[in-house]
Copies of this chain bind each other. A is one copy, B any other.
Amino acid sequence: MVGSAMAADLATDADVSVTVADSRDDVLARIREACGAATVRADLSDPAAVGRLAAASDVVLGALPSRLGLAALRAVIEAGRDACDISFMPEDPGALCEAARARGVTVVTDCGVAPGLSNMLCGHAAARLSPCERLRILVGGLPVRREGPWEYKAGFAPLDVLAEYTRPARQVEGGRVVVHPALGGRELVELPGVGTLEAFHTDGLRSLIRTLGVPDMTEKTLRYPGHAARMEVLRDAGLFDERPLAVGDVRVRPLDVAAALLFPSWTFEEGEADFTVMRVTAEGRRDGRAVRCTWDLLDRYDPETGLRSMSRTTAFPATIMARWIACGRFRRPGVHPPEVPGAEPGLPEAMLDELGRRGVTVREQVLALD
């Protein structure tokens, strides 16, 4: 869902030669037709295959399912290639930092919209405010048409969506990491151009917990009101459990039953409109005065390219960053989350400019609080 948007964006650039690898022939055919990128069929769950493909490239964009992310990234680093990744792997990719540094390889992980652009803006705010006291990220990708009972369709791998509904959510409160149950902390949020959505705890701070040292940080996911409560019922029923359950004379993972029941109705139809909404808020002091900086992103399905907003907003931060890594604009051997380039003077502004050129606009507001 995202890789094709990455290919489409890179293919518009005469200086770039793109090769897309995937295991599915139909996906590759669609990409060749859509943007003319070269394609190669490969099993990317095999690190050796990833390593061979990486060796033939200058920079590698990873858009694999989260469970394949770490092994693939390790193979890229071992091939000595720079990389930008949006697999949102559950493991800490920092474990590969030494290996990358040793090979002079620059890697940026979690480089989508949120995590991704949100991290860049947080890194930017933490560098600009002194001190930065509070960061808050709200993000959601939703279908425009609300259809009961879920009022939701998945803009990325639906199993990764369900993981957001089960994984305990780490937030930072008063300088300490506090773990909340996922789907909790529900609150209604009014967003301009969107209306009323509901925000709830998800485990999206990830690297920010250890990189920024900001004492209060919250990440919440946005859905149409009621979705989280319904998901909570399914979760509390045990339907998202991964431990096999005896049902008559067979054994099934409840999570697989949930996937079979839900995902058919969670799939966008061809040409169906979606939108992405994100609000990052930073509070702190600038020149001694209390300020609140707010960045509002609202992006919609692009009927011209047929690219869904969730695909666009997730793909573009990665393709822009990959170009910067390739041309040396961001070069720092190691494995970094996006708040690291976000703290570099000029880079977050350039990211917003580049996104704007692609039709993804972010409105910035600064409000004096005293």
C-beta contact mask, A180-212 vs B, less than 8 Å → 1, else 0?
A: 000000000000000000000000000000000
Contact size range, A: 20 to 34
Q: Is A254's CB within 8 Å of the partner chain B?
A: yes
The minimal Cβ–Cβ distance linking A256 to chain B, given in whole angstroms, is 5
Taken together as a complex, chains A and B put the C-alpha atoms of A238 and B237 apart, in Å, by: 13
In-complex Cβ contact of A237 among B246, B247, B248, B261 (8 A) = B261
Q: Is the CB of A256 within 8 A of B261?
A: no
Contacts of A250 in B (CB 8 A): 250-252
Taken together as a complex, chains A and B put the C-alpha atoms of A60 and B236 apart, in Å, by: 42
Q: Is A367's CB within 8 Å of the partner chain B?
A: no
Q: Is the CB of B262 within 8 A of A257?
A: no
Contacts of A251 in B (CB 8 A): 250
Taken together as a complex, chains A and B put the C-alpha atoms of A254 and B251 apart, in Å, by: 13
- Interface members, chain A 225-270 (any B CB < 8 Å): 230, 233-234, 236-239, 245-248, 250-252, 254, 256-258, 260-262
Q: Is the CB of A252 within 8 A of B248?
A: yes
Taken together as a complex, chains A and B put the C-alpha atoms of A231 and B346 apart, in Å, by: 53
Taken together as a complex, chains A and B put the C-alpha atoms of A262 and B251 apart, in Å, by: 16
Q: Is A288's CB within 8 Å of the partner chain B?
A: no
Taken together as a complex, chains A and B put the C-alpha atoms of A236 and B148 apart, in Å, by: 9
Taken together as a complex, chains A and B put the C-alpha atoms of A153 and B330 apart, in Å, by: 60
Contacts of A237 in B (CB 8 A): 149, 234, 239, 258, 261-262
Q: Is the CB of A238 within 8 A of B261?
A: yes
Contacts of A234 in B (CB 8 A): 233-234, 237
Q: Is the CB of B233 within 8 A of A245?
A: no
Q: Is the CB of B245 within 8 A of A257?
A: yes
Q: Which residue of B lies closest to A235 (CB)?
A: B149
- Interface members, chain A 62-78 (any B CB < 8 Å): none
Ordered by A's residue number, 24 sampled pairs between the chains whose C-beta atoms are within 8 Å are: A148-B236, A149-B233, A149-B237, A230-B233, A233-B233, A233-B234, A237-B258, A237-B261, A237-B262, A238-B261, A239-B257, A245-B260, A245-B261, A246-B260, A247-B252, A247-B256, A247-B257, A247-B260, A248-B252, A248-B256, A250-B250, A250-B251, A252-B252, A254-B261
Query: 6 tightest A-B contacts by CB?
Result: A233-B233, A149-B236, A238-B261, A250-B250, A230-B233, A247-B256
